[in-house]
Chain A
């Protein structure tokens, strides 16, 4: 597609429920990233996918968080047993394949605003 597409744009869930957030990167971008941004806070790295390589999961805050990327394209971020502190905007970004990750700027999607009540 022309840009990074994320869905849903807003999600309100009850504490303890599982949620799935979806990201469709720009066609041809092999690198995909998930970040989250809490109110008044900076962007917090969660996970990184590059082609068929094993993902870098070093930013996932707990084992309740997981992500997968199917066919090198669409990615799903799953949060199990949601907690109120999970409330944030979850941003997906993609970039061109680079010899070194972080070499290219990222293009962000419009984000999913998650509210856990």
Chain B
């Protein structure tokens, strides 16, 4: 049973558009949710964390959490070609170490 699921993509958006990345998870007791960005050949970089239901905004990024639906998403406004990367969703399943999804590849075309 997969615990953290993401669409592998690629998700293609034009420059300046909003990119919407989605993630579902299996465990209702999960409390901590993270989005990482991973450029090809590089290690994951933490870009957002969210712990409560609702939206959390940081610059062009907005994380959205709905615990009832076991759903977390990341919106990237005014997408830039430099945003092209794989985005990993991470969740602490059952108060354990973080479980990562396989990631969604985002391609932003100029």
Contact = CB atoms under 8 A, between A and B. Distances in A.
Given A42-B102, A110-B42, A105 B97 contact: no
B25 interface: no
Question: What range describes how many residues of A lie at the interface?
Answer: 20 to 34
Contacts of B103: 42
A91 B43 CA distance: 8
Given A103-B92, A105-B46, A107-B46, A45 B99 contact: yes
A108 B43 contact: yes
A109 B45 CA distance: 9
Interface in B79-110: 88, 90, 92, 95-103
Contact of B49 (A35, A105, A107, A109): A105
Interface of A: 33, 35, 41-43, 45, 48, 56, 59, 91, 100-111
Given A41-B102, A43-B100, 15 more contacts: A33-B98, A35-B100, A42-B88, A43-B44, A43-B88, A45-B97, A56-B96, A56-B97, A91-B44, A101-B95, A101-B96, A102-B92, A105-B46, A108-B45, A110-B43
